[in-house]
Structure 1
Amino acid sequence: MMDSKPQLTIWGRANSVNVQKVLWCLAELDLPYQRIDAGMQFGKNDQPDYLAMNPNGRVPTLVDGDYVLWESNSVMRYLCMAYGQGAPLYPQAPKARAAVDRWLDWTLSTLQPVDRPVFWGLVRTPPDKRDMVQLQKDADAEGAVWRVVEAQLAGRRFIEGDHFTIADIALGAFARRWLGVEGVTKPKLPNLERWFGEIAGRPAFVRFIAPPMS
């Protein structure tokens, strides 16, 4: 077990979905940290010192002492393994852990690509510059992907059963975006909405995920 009082720094702006995932995970683990704004209007992520830590120039980046890690899902895994002390957020049993891992991978490979055009089009594009016909097509594509989660949640409290895990964090951060955008027609997904209603009551969600999207 590593130091129980880590010196953690998170580089990244609070309105980044990938930073939000890490902040949510940190709160669930009750870990102290400091956060430094970086990315978009805050800059810094294109500076040599930052690129030396994260050559992608993306956020978030975790600094734990002399250890640096980027990629938000990998950061969540690391935090759970290093400081989780057996917490069910990231189960240790191989099959249970792999089941969680697949959702982290799926979020990156399948969900994020269809979420991005909808979120950017409805949240970060001025109304007079939106192509609503295209945005509805994009929303239809994203809705089809969320049906996979809808089916998974049939008969389950959380994404992988009875315990809240980092799979719920990864999907929950994107579900907040999907359920929060307006102006497009979306399918009715009652299992998703029931699950979202439960995770939305967690204090870390209220603090980091619930604020107005920007």
Structure 2
Amino acid sequence: MLHILGKAASINVRKVLWTCEELHLPYEREDWGSGFRTTHDPAFLALNPNAMVPVLRDGELVLWESNTICRYLCAREGRDDLLPVDPRGRAEVEKWMDWQMGELNNSWRYAFMSLVRQSPAHQDATQLAAGIAGWNAMMGVLEQQLQRTGAHVCGERFTVADIVLGLSVKRWLMAPLPHPDYPAIAAYHARLAHKTAAFAG
């Protein structure tokens, strides 16, 4: 039985939950994080010294970093439809997963903390405007890719890259900010909406 540590409201935990559902893997989940048990508890830090969710326990194996966990589970189950085994196909999927974790995530941090979390430390108007512009610009990169593929991030086939980016799209659409008209993203979001409860959360 897989054990997932992290609250279900976390976008990074939902990546792992969605992956488990795609793979039909049973799991047990424990609530850790803001509002629940603190990730600074020594027991949690022994598993992830970064004090971040999610953490996956698979027998003796302990993994953190949500995208790594998703890739591991797909490879563990031999699901080359979600994570190709050929080097070029796998690199394309991992490229977009790494872009999500790096470029896209870094673009939305200030605006998300200001507009959604209402953080008093993130209310500078100039930085907020720059944050919104940066977030929308990164979503423009995704819009261009989806216009090229006409379906999913890496082409016609749904992959694990769509799990991590689908949740990122949902976060962007739900944020109270001006959204450019990105029709390919809107169609992509509608295409994914039926997939899983982890996407709807």
TM-score for both structures, normalised by structure 2: 0.93
User: How does 1:171-210 map onto structure 2 within 5 Å?
Assistant: 171-182=165-176, 184-202=177-195, 204=196, 207-210=197-200
SS of the residue aligned with 2:186? helix
CA contact (8 A) 2:110 2:127 kept: no
User: How does 1:143-158 map onto structure 2 within 5 Å?
Assistant: 143-156=136-149, 157-158=151-152
CA contact (8 A) 1:80 1:90 kept: yes
Instruction: Please give the alpha-carbon distance, in whole angstroms, between the structure 1 residues aligned to 2:37 and 2:110.
Output: 22
Distance change (3 Å), C-alpha of 1:201 and 1:136: farther
- State the AA in 1 paired with 2:97: L
- Identical counterparts, % of pairs: 40
Q: Given the alignment, which residue of 74, 79, 97 partners 1:80? A: 74
Measured after TM superposition, the shift of residue 86 of structure 1 is 3.1
SS of the residue aligned with 1:63? strand
Distance change (3 Å), C-alpha of 1:116 and 1:110: same
| Equivalent in the alignment of 1:141 | 134
Measured after TM superposition, the shift of residue 119 of structure 1 is 2.0
TM-score for both structures, normalised by structure 1: 0.87
Alignment of 1:59 with 2:53, yes or no, is yes
CA contact (8 A) 2:113 2:119 kept: no
Q: Mark the runs of 5 or more structure 1 residues left unpaired by the alignment.
A: 1-6
- State the AA in 2 paired with 1:91: P
| Equivalent in the alignment of 1:50 | 44
For the aligned residue pairs, the C-alpha RMSD in angstroms reads 1.7
Instruction: Please give the alpha-carbon distance, in whole angstroms, between the structure 2 residues aligned to 1:138 and 1:97.
Output: 31
Measured after TM superposition, the shift of residue 135 of structure 1 is 2.8
Instruction: Please give the alpha-carbon distance, in whole angstroms, between the structure 2 residues aligned to 1:187 and 1:29.
Output: 34
Instruction: Please give the alpha-carbon distance, in whole angstroms, between the structure 2 residues aligned to 1:155 and 1:111.
Output: 19
- State the AA in 1 paired with 2:60: D
SS of the residue aligned with 1:40? coil
Instruction: Please give the alpha-carbon distance, in whole angstroms, between the structure 2 residues aligned to 1:130 and 1:34.
Output: 38
Instruction: Please give the alpha-carbon distance, in whole angstroms, between the structure 2 residues aligned to 1:33 and 1:13.
Output: 14
- State the AA in 2 paired with 1:185: P
Question: For residues 5-24 of structure 1, what are the alpha-carbon distances to aligned partners after superposition, in whole Å with 9 as ceiling and x for unaligned?
Answer: xx100000111111111111
Paired residues in the alignment total 199
SS of the residue aligned with 1:154? helix
SS of the residue aligned with 1:153? helix
CA contact (8 A) 2:109 2:131 kept: no
| Equivalent in the alignment of 1:95 | 88
Distance change (3 Å), C-alpha of 1:126 and 1:68: closer
SS of the residue aligned with 2:81? coil
CA contact (8 A) 1:140 1:186 kept: no
Q: Mark the runs of 5 or more structure 2 residues left unpaired by the alignment.
A: none
Distance change (3 Å), C-alpha of 1:126 and 1:104: closer
Instruction: Please give the alpha-carbon distance, in whole angstroms, between the structure 1 residues aligned to 2:186 and 2:98.
Output: 22
User: How does 1:154-173 map onto structure 2 within 5 Å?
Assistant: 154-156=147-149, 157-173=151-167
Q: Given the alignment, which residue of 24, 27, 31 partners 1:30? A: 24
SS of the residue aligned with 1:77? helix
CA contact (8 A) 1:136 1:185 kept: no
- State the AA in 2 paired with 1:35: R
Instruction: Please give the alpha-carbon distance, in whole angstroms, between the structure 1 residues aligned to 2:38 and 2:148.
Output: 45
